[in-house]
Amino acid sequence: MGERIGSDILLKAEELVKSAMKGNDASHDAAHVFRVRDLALSLARDEGFSASPHSMFIVELAALLHDIGDYKYLRDPSEGKIVENFLVEEGVEENAKTSILSIINGMGFKEEIGGLTESTRCPEFGVVQDADRLDAIGAIGIARCFTFGGSRNRALHDPQIKPRSDLSKENYMNKDEQTTVNHFHEKLLKLKTLMKTKAGQRRAEKRHKFMEEFLEEFYEEWDGRA
């Protein structure tokens, strides 16, 4: 695929992100996607992908399209096909299309606890997944977590509701009785050890530590100890 054609597709993908995610709350909006895109490209450079324009294109396009059709925001079943239709309409090459869809369909936390195997991943998978997970932790991750919880009218914290352990894909997706703070223990604090790339692991350290310090302060304030 020519450089100009690839650039045109990326610009169209940016416009699709803005229109498709316009109604989402700020935890999963276009700004989140653009942060993930920037992180993914940075991680890809750190991991040595920049020598391959094809790989960098896959990384950028997968990062841009990764949250369109997210099950948490589906208003109509047809929205689940937006990304695939876009790739076909824009004439993305078959091997690139397959890689992009594989990345998007496999990068969620629910897929990981559902037992997705390493053999299903293309080389670019790790940097895109790590970028998305980096945006889920640290200061931005904390802000996103409480934004999403507020959008679903969830309690901040309830000491009587304990975080769930040994989560399956199905009960992870069912969060009706959970609090926002429990999401840190059920998912966010686990992401550091699930990073796939060395670059992602390095960056996750600082963000993870910030979340631990935040939670320590949160519990002290909640209990009137601070």
pLDDT in tens, 12-56: 999 999 999 999 999 999 999 999 999 999 999 999 999 999 999
Answer for the pair 207, 182: CB distance below 8 angstroms, yes or no. no
Residue 203 tokens, joined = 């960056």
What DSSP designation does 192 have?
G
Using pLDDT thresholds of 50, 70 and 90, give the confidence band for residue 202.
very high
The more confident residue out of 164 and 183 is 183
Band (116; pLDDT cuts 50, 70, 90): low
What would the pLDDT profile of 124-161 be if each residue is shown by its tens digit? 999 999 999 999 999 999 999 999 999 999 999 999 99
Mean pLDDT of 158-178: 76
170, pLDDT greater than 80:
no
User: How far apart (Å, rounded) are the C-alpha atoms in residues 43 and 22?
Assistant: 27
At 119, the pLDDT band (50, 70, 90 cuts) reads very low
Q: What angle do CA 214, 217, 218 make, to 5 degrees?
A: 80
- Per-residue pLDDT, averaged over 103-121, amounts to 73
What is the predicted pLDDT for the residue at 42?
98
> Tell me, what's the pLDDT at 99?
96
Residue closest to 13 by CA, chosen among 33, 39, 41: 33
